[in-house]
Chain A
Amino acid sequence: MFSDADSGSLKLDQGVHIGDCLRLPDQRFDLNLVDERSRFCLRVRETHVSAFAKASGLALPTQVGTTRQDENALIMCLSPDEWLIIAASESKDLIKRKTDQFKSAPFSLVDVSHRNVAFTLRGEGAAAMVNVGCPLDLDLKAFPVGKCTRTIFERAEIILYRPAETEFHIEVWRSFAPYVLSVLSNGAQAQ
């Protein structure tokens, strides 16, 4: 499962390989696999959100489609009672410890670190590449920087997040990743 990277350090093999056709030097975008991260699916009832945020110290965004980035984690609000927390892989225990501070009502924190892999698409052509498989309006007015959403990419479900004007972060279930890459690769050749 672990392989030696070029730098000589141990790196987790995430089981996804980005093909050469997506690495052409003349492309208007750059696709990369995000390194290993810890990810959590958090479910808290709407009525307990503010108490939960106070006790855990995790600043949960409450409006669907918004995100909040602090020094520990990126938190995406996917639904009024559902959040995806993405943090560095060594912050796993920290997130668990923080959420354990909330004891007054049931909630669920599920480690989904290895369920997903993530890609970043950077560059002028990034939005056009996302639109290869996703019909959302990615104009900055409709999809501003910082917005996230669960949506569909061809036939696979993805979570799309825009960290910068010309950058997209795509979370996808690991087993769907080769499919998403093949759609992107076809799109890259067609453009």
Chain B
Amino acid sequence: MMLIECPVCKEKRPELEFRYAGEAHIARPEDPDALSDQEWAKYLFIRSNPRGTHFERWVHAHGCAKFFNAVRDTVTDKFVMTYKCGEARPSPEQIAERQS
């Protein structure tokens, strides 16, 4: 079973306790009224869907119940690192360091 480290509990826990919650670092537009329908649709539905490193949100649903962010490789399904909501997106150097 895959173990995921929760940055709030600071523990590796079984994946059954977690839920995926979409791509991370997508900021809601400050003024939705000013957006065209296409721009709004882009915010709502268009995601990067990369092959490789992906920044995503997870929730420790059956644990501390907190959301956090994770870096996961979509090819290998390996978690590179997890970090708390509100923290900056890790740099490519930090990710490479964790992967090595």
Contact = CB atoms under 8 A, between A and B. Distances in A.
B13 interface: yes
- The A interface is mostly helix, strand or loop, or mixed, namely strand
Interface string B59-77: 0001111100000000000
Given A64-B8, A79-B8, A150 B65 contact: yes
Contacts of B14: 135-136, 152
Contacts of A79: 8, 64-66
B49 to A, nearest CB: 29
B11 interface: yes
Contacts of A165: none
Contact of B62 (A65, A80, A82, A151): A151
B1 interface: yes
A171 to B, nearest CB: 13
Interface residues of B, number: 14
Interface residues of A, number: 13
Contact of A151 (B1, B10, B17, B66): B17
Contacts of A82: 64-65
Contacts, number: 37
A80 B67 CA distance: 12
A150 B4 CA distance: 15
9 residue pairs, one from A and one from B, having the closest CB atoms: A79-B64, A135-B14, A152-B62, A64-B9, A157-B62, A152-B16, A64-B64, A79-B65, A150-B63
Interface of B: 1, 8-11, 13-14, 16-17, 62-66
Interface of A: 64-65, 78-80, 82, 135-136, 149-152, 157
29 contacts: A64-B9, A64-B10, A64-B64, A65-B11, A78-B64, A79-B8, A79-B64, A79-B66, A80-B8, A80-B66, A82-B64, A135-B1, A135-B16, A136-B13, A136-B14, A149-B9, A149-B63, A150-B63, A150-B64, A150-B65, A151-B13, A151-B17, A151-B62, A151-B63, A152-B14, A152-B16, A152-B17, A152-B62, A157-B62
